Amino acid sequence: MSDGLTVAVVEPATPVGKEILHVLAERDFPVGRLVALAGRRYAGSAVEFRGESVAMTPAEGFGFDGVDLAFVAARTPMGTELIERARTSGCLVVDLGGHCALKNDVPLVIPELNCQDIQFHKGVIASPRPAAVELAMVLAPIHRVTRVKRAVITSFHPLSESGESAMDELTSQIRDLFTFKDTSSRVFPHQIAFNLIPVVGGFAEDRHTLEERAIEAEIRKILKADTMSLSVTCMQVPVFYAHAASVVVETDGEMDPQTLKKVLAHQQGLELRDDPGQDVYPTQVDALGLDECLVGRIRRDDAFDHGVAFFTACDNVRKGSAVNAVQIAELALAGRSAKRD
């Protein structure tokens, strides 16, 4: 690693951080020097990038001088401080932690939907939370054809969203249950093994969770649809990777299932899996490793005059996080180069 950009990745040992490194290498991103920044838990250990071992540097107090690009994958308060420090130093920041997603002067981007917004950045571009990526990818083509009046969504969140400790808790609980031992819960307030927990994140004052309200707000911002009525319920499910969602949509105009399939088939980044007679429909396992969001179980919904329902699945650490963020960086750097030319 010599020629190319100096690229920082914050928290590269987490599931999302590891996938960012994998995607950077896979897409031959022009990394000349990698700076691996970590919190106290990982500082001093190393990560591998393109066959080389890279020692992790403590993120606290890091100055970003000489760094061209930073991927901030930390959702902790440290992320906000690092973003401001990086931006001030002239480093382009891709925020994956939700710190800047809803700020008016920060573009919130899914390249397949609103890549044109990247040009308006002031040093920071936000990549949406994985559930918002998945849902906006499906709602956007419908909204372009006939306005989405409302959507009722149940979002199924994998444990990797909560980090490796959450995945370890599921593994240990399954082991305890199969050896007839009592389980213990530290990451979640209830047993997660063989269970669904109807809460993701902390509660807001209105009894919705902060995650639910953030997903709604991010979808509206991406689609530029301030009046779209959205109702999201987030479920924590005992699955390691990949989001899924059950969605019911009411549209302004008629949208029958066959028309909807044609609309979705033309959206870049979506893949139809919709042949229920042959047991073809999206599952979280099927979405693993894909850059596309899957959609299927398309049917009319009789609760609304113009109602359709469908099911989606998307790899949360790949397209939902790492691929989307690297795509943003590629386009931002291409735009910067075009301006110089």
Rounded to whole angstroms, the Cα distance separating 192 from 174 reads 9
- The three-state secondary structure class of 237 is coil
Rounded to whole angstroms, the Cα distance separating 108 from 117 reads 8
Q: What is the mean pLDDT of residues 64-76?
A: 91
- Residue pair 70/127 in contact (Cβ under 8 Å)? The answer is no
Share of the chain above pLDDT 90, in %: 85
Rounded to whole angstroms, the Cα distance separating 38 from 10 reads 6
pLDDT at 341 over 50: no
Rounded to whole angstroms, the Cα distance separating 305 from 286 reads 32
Read off the pLDDT band of 339 (50, 70, 90).
low
Among 44-53, 142-151, 173-182, the least confident range: 44-53
- Which two structure tokens, joined as six digits, stand for 70? 């930073």
Residues 6 or more apart whose Cβ sits within 8 Å of residue 28 = none
What would the pLDDT profile of 292-337 be if each residue is shown by its tens digit? 999 999 999 999 989 999 999 999 999 999 999 999 999 999 876 5
Start and end residues for every CATH 3.40.50.720 domain found in the chain: 5-128+320-340
The position carrying tokens 């710190």 is 99
Mean pLDDT, all residues of the chain: 93
Read off the pLDDT band of 2 (50, 70, 90).
low
Rounded to whole angstroms, the Cα distance separating 109 from 300 reads 30
Rounded to whole angstroms, the Cα distance separating 106 from 104 reads 6
What would the pLDDT profile of 279-297 be if each residue is shown by its tens digit? 999 999 999 999 999 999 9
What would the pLDDT profile of 197-244 be if each residue is shown by its tens digit? 999 989 988 999 999 999 999 999 999 999 999 999 999 999 999 999
Q: Which residue has the higher pLDDT, 281 or 3?
A: 281
> Domain 132-315 falls in which CATH fold?
Dihydrodipicolinate Reductase; domain 2 (3.30.360)
pLDDT at 298: 97
Could you give phi then psi for residue 296, rounded to 5 degrees?
Answer: -170, -160
In this prediction the pTM is 0.93
Domain at 5-128+320-340, CATH from 3.10.105.10, 3.40.50.2300, 3.20.20.70, 3.40.50.720: 3.40.50.720
